[in-house]
Amino acid sequence: MGLKIQFTGLLASPTSWARVGRGMLSRLTAVDGIDLKIKPTRGKLWTKDFPLPAEIKTAIGEWRTPDFELMFAYPPLLKKYHGKKTRLWNFSVYEPSRLPVSWVDPLNRDCERVLVPSRHNYNLYQKSGVREEQLELIPYGYSTRHFPESLPWPEDEQLNILTVATPHYRKGLDVLLASSDLLTEKQLHWQVQLPYVPAEKKTEFWEDGEIRKKLETAGFDVRVGRLSDAEITELYRRTNLLVQPSRSEGFGLAILEGMAAGRPVVTSNWGGQLDFAGPGMIRIEGQLRPARDCQYDEKHPAAKVFEPDKDDFRHQLIQLLDRPDELKELGLQARKSVRDFTWKNAADKLANLLKQSY
């Protein structure tokens, strides 16, 4: 028997942290020397019939006394899960330049390790007061099951653009509106995929409750749905170009997957996605500004996000659309840029750290 590892957390959901859990755990189950048991929980956008990988279903169960416990928990709630004898390692990600004040003490007190996915996160957690000796950089990955190689290029004559995002201000969906005239001028099909739309009377300050209406009025094809990992892959298959003008990304999982699919990506020149920047990632310039509407939870006065320059966004987009024959080659270069960012490599790195720390 190898190390007894217990994971507890949300998996049956389209949320980014549930997708991270599915990707990491699917590969961790296959690592020699690791005996993994998984306790799925409910949470944001939990869906009863959400498809889970077979290897995760097989590992469902609980250790009475695990050697390590893994979670992707909201930091202020960590004390609730942290037993006196448990060696708790918590996945954690944040997007603006400083953590909420209420996160720092729980991360320092209730975790043995804080697992962050990017240098952007590593630096902001350290600057916010999380002890450096607790921080471990474990990049997220893409699934070689869903992206074994660059996906076949669409055969449509019309150019298809895709944006996959939550309806949060930090995702920069309003930036798309500045270039909506290109939909008609360039005869584009531009799909914006949202996992949900906030309820009218329950919209949080960091959510844009009107963005769906604004985008549809401007001519974007807005779809709402809790898509499985396979359905997300199919979205990339049908697109020529992924556009994500985010104001902040802790890692940028959709950006990574778009590049793994062999699609060029237009995104912001700030955030966790710069860890895998390279040919095929077209970066929008801009400047830092106070986080304000983009920082959920308790606000930190020094927190900053990146404001994409709408003129540069438009310029970069037109440059690509005027050279459609080059998009496929840019996509192949994008795939090469992210070839090592797989869930297998991420799980191997995590397993090695667990074994070294035992």
Over range 332-345, report the average pLDDT. Answer: 97
Whether the pLDDT of residue 202 is over 90: the answer is no
22, 56 in Cβ contact below 8 A?
yes
Q: What is the pLDDT of residue 198?
A: 92
Is the pLDDT reported for residue 354 higher than 90? yes
**What's the helix, strand, coil split of the chain in %, to 5?**
40, 20, 40
Q: For 3-141+342-357, CATH number?
A: 3.40.50.2000
Instruction: Give tens-digit pLDDT for 133-184.
Output: 999 999 999 999 999 999 999 988 889 999 999 999 999 999 999 999 999 9
pLDDT at 1: 74
State the greatest distance between any 2 C-alpha atoms of the chain, in Å, as a whole number. Answer: 63
Q: Averaged over 245-261, what is the pLDDT? A: 98
The pLDDT tens digits for 63-122 are 999 999 999 999 999 988 766 567 999 999 999 999 999 999 999 999 999 999 999 999
**285-337: per-residue pLDDT in tens?**
999 999 999 998 888 899 999 999 999 999 999 999 999 999 999 999 999 99
CATH architecture of the domain with range 159-337:
3-Layer(aba) Sandwich (3.40)
- 249 CB contacts (<8 Å, ≥6 apart)? 95, 120, 255, 267, 268, 271, 272, 273
Quickly state the pLDDT bin for 35 (edges 50, 70, 90): very high
The pLDDT assigned to 102 comes to 94
The predicted structure's pLDDT at residue 82: 64
pLDDT tens-place string over residues 128-145: 999 999 999 999 999 999
Question: Which residues make up the CATH 3.40.50.2000 domain(s) of the chain?
Answer: 3-141+342-357, 159-337
Report the pLDDT value the prediction gives residue 298, as an integer from 0 to 100.
84
At residue 240, does pLDDT exceed 90?
yes
Looking at residue 246, its pLDDT comes to 98
Q: What is the mean pLDDT of residues 233-262?
A: 97
What burial class does residue 226 get, using C-beta atoms within 10 Å of its C-beta: 0-12 exposed, 13-18 middle, 19+ buried?
Answer: middle
Percentage of the chain lying above the pLDDT 90 cut = 94
Token pair of 169 as six digits = 């201000």
pLDDT band for position 195 (cuts 50, 70, 90): very high
**Average of pLDDT values for 38-63?**
96
- Average pLDDT of the residues in 260-279: 97
Average pLDDT value over all residues in the chain: 95
Which among 93, 89, 98 has a CA at the least distance from the CA of 118? 93
**pLDDT band, residue 272 (cuts 50/70/90):** very high
**According to the model, what pLDDT value does residue 84 have?**
58
SS (H, E, C) 86-132: CCEEEECCCCCCCCCHHHHHHHHHHCCEEEECCHHHHHHHHHHCCCH
Q: What is the pLDDT of residue 200?
A: 82
Burial track 276-314 (b if 16+ CB lie within 10 A, e otherwise): bbebbbbbbebeeebbebbbbbebbeebbbbbbbbeebb
